[in-house]
Amino acid sequence: MWQIRKPQGHANEERPTPSLAERQLMSVGDAGAFAKRDVHTDLKVELHQRLLDLINLSALDSMSREQIKDEVGEIVEEELAKQNHALNLAERRRLVDDVLDELLGLGPLEPLLKDATITDILVNGHDNVFVERFGSLEQSPVRFKDERHLLRIIQKIVSAVGRRVDESSPMVDARLADGSRVNAVVPPLAIDGSLLSIRKFAKVPISMARLVEIGSIPEPVSEVLRAIVASRRNVLISGGTGSGKTTLLSAFIDNRERIVTIEDSAELQLQQEHVARLETRPANIEGRGEITQRELVKNALRMRPDRIIVGEVRAGEAFDMLQAMNTGHDGSMTTVHANTARDALSRVEQMIGMSGIDMPARSSRAQIASAINVVVQVARLSDGRRRLVSLAELTGMEGDVITMQEIFRFRQTGISADGGVIGRFEATGIRPRFLEQAVAYGQTLSSDLFRPETRFE
Ligand SMILES: Nc1ncnc2c1ncn2[C@@H]1O[C@H](COP(=O)(O)OP(=O)(O)OP(=O)(O)O)[C@@H](O)[C@H]1O
Ligand SMILES: [Mg+2]
């Protein structure tokens, strides 16, 4: 019956000795914990600690959550009785659930992770948690008991992917089992307590059809994007942080080619079957074994890719990516952090400089101009909504300058009473050169789309 209880007299055995960083944080945490003490949080963390003393952790693996729940429920009852806590049935149930979350999951983060309306979770110290819903940030009532509790959850997340976080490596990227992207920074780099940022993995990836439905991309423009991909144009998606670059990149391609993806932290959700995914690796404790995006791009060329997709270019790999685009791997794509299409090109130019290859500015630009065909700019506008705001085409070089022409743009005309952005998409009137290529690939696009008077509401 008592599968998970330890034999008597063995309590305390498995409580881990706190690490140096934890001990340091304990003092920080305990000093700060006076602030918003919440009885429920205290109780569940206390009960969780008590359970760690009482139960045999290795038995948990072979039991279902329901089985564990029954037994944990009984232990919780006993402990509550001992401590004279009067809780009603609903409160007790919630407590057992929360204790289970502590024991089996990521504690206070669990309800936020389960809530499908939340897209980002931002923890700024143990008692200050924000979430993003429908494009806007709001404070969440969720709290950790203290810094130490938060740090324990962070350790649990990063150790699951074989990484660690402590004074000597206080910043870490990780991923949750469901694919959500995680970044954690702990003291001393994080001044007011550990910082945890989670970009949740959308359970249902946002498809092109969905982007059209929610008004991020007008239907006709999505058709143009489709034709651009089908006719193997090389695409750079540019946007600010959290503007929807990765999402658009994922929605972009849906066909049956062999795609090799390269990412620092895998988060692309491509819809097709034939995807070979690669992810970089940070250096180990001795500073060895690092594999960069650059090396992965070079390796990808030997994997017979039809297209190469780099999740986001940040440094020297931009050079290898352009090389790949220029040497027959057309139809490749990447994203870059920039606020306009023009900026995106300058960023890529800077990145070529970071590759350590000494190239005159003009040659770098010529590389860019011949490799990249289309720049798609996305943005998160002031109302929190994400939109495609510009689609531009590179046309070559004039002197030392890359020439580019905008084909579609979003023009903001005002703000509604409730803060919504009012505006419309419009064609600039320029007939893109990629049309010709599209036709060669059997893609038919009405040339009406590109007339200057064309508006998409
Ligand atoms: N068009 C959209 N409409 C609504 N939500 C979106 C849209 N595009 C992306 N999102 C959501 O916004 C969040 C950020 O998207 P995404 O990760 O694609 O942005 P990003 O620009 O790649 O961010 P980062 O700069 O962090 O790499 C995600 O939770 C995603 O589901
Ligand atoms: Mg991204």
What are the sequence ranges of the domains in the chain? 20-199, 208-456
What is the rounded average pLDDT of the residues 417-445? Answer: 91
Q: According to the model, what pLDDT value does residue 310 have? A: 94
Query: What pLDDT is recorded for position 124?
Result: 96
Element (H, E) at 335: strand 333-337
Ligand nearest to the CA of 385: 1
- Burial string for 325-360 (b: 16+ CB within 10 Å, else e) reads bbeebbbbbbbbbbebbeebbebbbebbbebeeeee
Provide DSSP, 412-456. Answer: EEEE-TTS-EEEEEEE-S---THHHHHHHTT----GGGGSTT-EE
Q: Name the residue among 98, 83, 88 with its Cα closest to residue 40.
A: 98
195: pLDDT confidence band, cut at 50, 70 and 90? very high
The answer, yes or no, to whether residue 330 has pLDDT greater than 80, is yes
Q: What is the mean pLDDT of residues 115-134?
A: 93
CA of 170 to the centre of ligand 2 (A): 22
Mutate to test the pocket of ligand 1, among 204, 237, 309, 386 (most ligand atoms within 8 A of CB): 386
Q: Which ligand is nearest to the CA of 242?
A: 1
Average pLDDT of span 344-359: 92
Which pLDDT band holds residue 44 (cuts at 50, 70, 90)?
Answer: confident
pLDDT at 2: 56
Q: Is 177 a residue whose pLDDT tops 90?
A: no
pLDDT value at residue 38: 67
User: Can you state the angle between helices 361-371 and 317-326, rounded to 10 degrees?
Assistant: 50
pLDDT-derived band of residue 24, with 50, 70 and 90 as boundaries? very low
Predicted local confidence at residue 344, as pLDDT: 97
Domain 208-456 in CATH 3.40.50.300: yes
For position 30, what pLDDT does the model report? 37
Q: Is the pLDDT of residue 61 over 80?
A: no
Q: Whose CA is nearest to atom 31 of ligand 1?
A: 202
Q: Whose CA is nearest to atom 15 of ligand 1?
A: 244
Task: Decide if 20-199 and 208-456 have a common fold.
Answer: no
Taking each helix axis from N to C end, the angle separating 293-300 and 317-326, rounded to the nearest 10 degrees, works out to: 20
Question: What spacing in Å lies between the alpha carbon of 126 and ligand 2's midpoint?
Answer: 26
d(CA 314, CA 363): 20
Bond prior to 188 in cis (omega within 30° of 0): yes
Please list every protein residue whose CB sits less than 6 Å from any atom of ligand 1. Answer: 119, 199, 202, 206, 211, 214, 216, 239, 241-247, 312, 386
- Binning pLDDT at 50, 70 and 90, where does residue 427 land? very high
In this structure, which ligand is nearest to the CA of 249? Answer: 1
Q: What is the pLDDT of residues 219-233, one digit of tens each?
A: 999 999 999 999 999
Compute the mean pLDDT over every residue in the chain, rounded to the nearest whole number.
86
Pocket test for ligand 1, best of 241, 246, 263, 270 (most atoms within 8 A of CB): 246
Compute the average pLDDT of residues 109-122: 93
Burial-class residue 31 by CB neighbours within 10 Å (0-12, 13-18, 19+): exposed
For 253-306, strand residue ranges (E) read 259-263, 275-279
DSSP assigned state of 201: P
Q: What spacing in Å lies between the alpha carbon of 162 and ligand 1's midpoint?
A: 27
- CA dist 9 and 353 (Å) reads 64
* 75 CA → ligand 1 middle, Å: 43
- Which pLDDT belongs to residue 299? 92
Strand-pair category, 195-199 with 235-239: unpaired
* 202 CA distance to ligand 1 middle (Å): 10
Total-model pTM = 0.79
Q: Which residue has the higher pLDDT, 117 or 9?
A: 117
**How many angstroms is it from 334 CA to the middle of ligand 2?**
10
For residue 384, pLDDT beyond 60: yes
> What fold, for 20-199?
Beta-Lactamase (3.30.450)
pLDDT (0 to 100) of residue 183: 95
- Give mean pLDDT, residues 297-305: 89
Q: Whose CA is nearest to atom 16 of ligand 1?
A: 244
Ligand with the closest atom to the CA of 239: 1
Give yes or no for a contact between 368 and 376, defined as CB atoms under 8 angstroms apart.
Answer: no
Tell me the pLDDT tens digit for each residue of 68-108: 888 888 888 888 888 777 778 888 888 888 888 888 889 89
Q: Are 378 and 387 in contact (CB under 8 A)?
A: yes
Instruction: Return d(Cα 173, Cα 108) in angstroms, integer.
Output: 20
Residues 6+ apart with CB under 8 A from 409: 389, 390, 391, 425, 426, 428
* Structure tokens given for 356: 């350590």
Alpha carbons 145 and 37: distance in angstroms, whole number: 8
Tokens of 416: 């509604």
CA dist list (Å): 375 to 64, 215, 328, 394: 50, 20, 19, 8
> Which atom belonging to ligand 1 lies closest to the Cα atom of 119?
29
Q: Identify the pLDDT of residue 351.
A: 95
Separation between Cα atoms, residue 43 and residue 401, nearest integer Å: 65
Does residue 410 surpass a pLDDT of 60?
A: yes
Closest-lying ligand 1 atom to the alpha carbon of residue 247: 18
